[in-house]
Amino acid sequence: MTASACAKLILFGEHSVVYGQPAIAVPLRSIRLKVELKKSSQDNVSLKGVNASDSKRVLSALLIARQQHNIHYHLRLGIYSGIPLKCGLGSSAALSVAVTRALSKSKEPSTVAAAALELERVFHGTPSGIDVAVSAYEKPVFFIRGKKPIFIRIRPMWILVANSGSRMHTKKVVQQVRMRLQQNPALWQAIRNMGAIAATAKNALAKGDIKKLGRLMNLNQTYLKWLGVSSPKLEGLIKSALGSGALGAKLSGAGRGGCIVALYATKAKAQSATRKIKGAFAVRIS
């Protein structure tokens, strides 16, 4: 049994989405994680570059998947990830979706997303569900926790993604934000403002109003900084992206590490910026 699932990128509203605000994410369809499942004498996982505690979590997810699909024999799970791990591009959601696709008779995206969310919980604790929704539907979504995703139109545009090289721990960062909000309730305003930014961005994406989107990204980043989820490395990448002509830039995903996303007016500008920012790649979103 084989299947694959794609990476995702959150454009607006990470963290605020945990608290019921809307967020927007897009699939990166060309960046994929593949799985191969075979009958085996015991459950086991093969994945290059993961440590023991990661493979323990993958094994727990595999057990849940077997239970969901009434599979009583053991499985060997081979993972071939084109998605860099723990950098905000949704590798754990893609793994959850790919395993579900491989085992489930129904390939219907809402069924796949619901089952995959159970697996994602092993990795992220209490995920909002935005990552598995994008990976299962492979469509841009306007997402509100607990609701059916709304599929949105996006005028094709070019972005740059750059990885800070620091791995991030979504569960830990989400917990830290929760504590910060408890200690400083004034920060709830940042959460509400990020929701309003996502709502405004939805129309700007449909119209292809890239100047406005750039401003909204910068503003979203300001609020992410208030929440304490940026880092010197991420700020350095954002500065480089803006210095190389980006209309706006922000971190993407849980933060403290992982990736930034920057918006460019043209493909040529995005591609030229990748030559100045180490390890960055340009991609068209639609």
Could you list the active site residues?
Answer: 131
Judged by beta carbon, residue 37 or residue 198, the one nearer ligand PMV is: 198
Which residues partner with 78 through β-bridges? 36, 46
* Residue found under tokens 């607990």: 146
Which of 6, 144, 174, 283 is in the footprint of ligand PMV by CB under 6 A? Answer: 174
- As a whole number of angstroms, the distance between CA 52 and CA 216 comes to 40
Which of 11, 12, 14, 132 touches ligand PMV (CB under 6 A)? Answer: 14
Name the one range near ligand PMV by CB under 6 A: 9-17, 64-72, 209-217, 276-284. 9-17
Nearer to ligand PMV, 25 or 75 (CB): 25
Task: Report the helix count and the strand count for the chain, using DSSP H and E.
Answer: 9, 10
Please say whether the beta carbons of 124 and 168 come within 8 A.
Answer: no
Binders of ligand PMV in range 129-168 (CB under 6 A) = 130-131
Is the Cβ–Cβ distance between 159 and 263 less than 8 Å? yes
Candidates 97-105, 127-135, 156-164, 263-271: pick the segment binding ligand PMV (CB under 6 A).
127-135
CA angle 40, 125, 137 (to 5 degrees): 75
CB of 168 to ligand PMV, least distance (A): 6
How many residues can be counted in the chain? Answer: 286
Contact footprint for ligand PMV (CB under 6 A)? 10, 14-15, 17-18, 88, 90, 124, 127-128, 130-131, 170, 174, 253-254
